[in-house]
């Protein structure tokens, strides 16, 4: 069965550093992968989508990579700020039907 793992449940980094979050998937080959941000008590907010033929995608301080050989996506936040503290979810597509969400990584950026 499909399995999606995100590197750790929680990640603490110092303000100004680059945060790197990992999303690994097994037993299928998604054509697309999305990343979302979720704040406590709120619904997830869409950040970026990357396609299987795109190795890298950037949006402001965010960068996403997609390695279909390793079955992995990396999500980077450069020059991190305390306001970046949130839970980040990856969501590979499910055989083109819909998106399946990973358990999330809770990022804390310490001032």
Partner 1 sequence: DAGITQSPRHKVTETGTPVTLRCHQTENHRYMYWYRQDPGHGLRLIHYSYGVKDTDKGEVSDGYSVSRSKTEDFLLTLESATSSQTSVYFCAISVIGSPAGNLGYTFGSGTRLTVV
Site residues (vs partner 1, CB under 8 A): 31-32, 34, 36, 41-47, 49, 51, 89, 93-94, 96-104
CB 41, min distance to partner 1, A: 8
| CB nearer to partner 1: pick between 84 and 93 | 93
Q: Are 12 and 82 in contact (CB under 8 A)?
A: no
Handedness of CA 32, 37, 41, 43 (dihedral sign): negative
| CB nearer to partner 1: pick between 96 and 111 | 96
Listed residue (30, 19, 16) closest to 71, CA to CA: 30
CB 77, min distance to partner 1, A: 18
Neighbours of 67 (CB within 10 A): 13
| CB nearer to partner 1: pick between 69 and 97 | 97
Neighbours of 80 (CB within 10 A): 21
CB 98, min distance to partner 1, A: 5
């Amino acid at each position: 069965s499909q399995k999606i793992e995100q590197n750790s449940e929680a990640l603490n980094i110092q303000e100004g550093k680059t945060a790197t979050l990992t999303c690994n998937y097994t037993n299928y080959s998604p054509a697309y992968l999305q990343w979302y941000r979720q704040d406590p008590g709120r619904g997830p907010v869409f950040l970026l989508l990357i396609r299987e033929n795109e190795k890298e995608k950037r949006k402001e301080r965010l960068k996403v990579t997609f390695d279909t050989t390793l079955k992995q996506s990396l999500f980077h936040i450069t020059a991190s700020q305390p306001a970046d503290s949130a839970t980040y979810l990856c969501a590979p597509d499910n055989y083109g039907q819909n998106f399946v969400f990973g358990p999330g990584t809770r990022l804390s950026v310490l001032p």
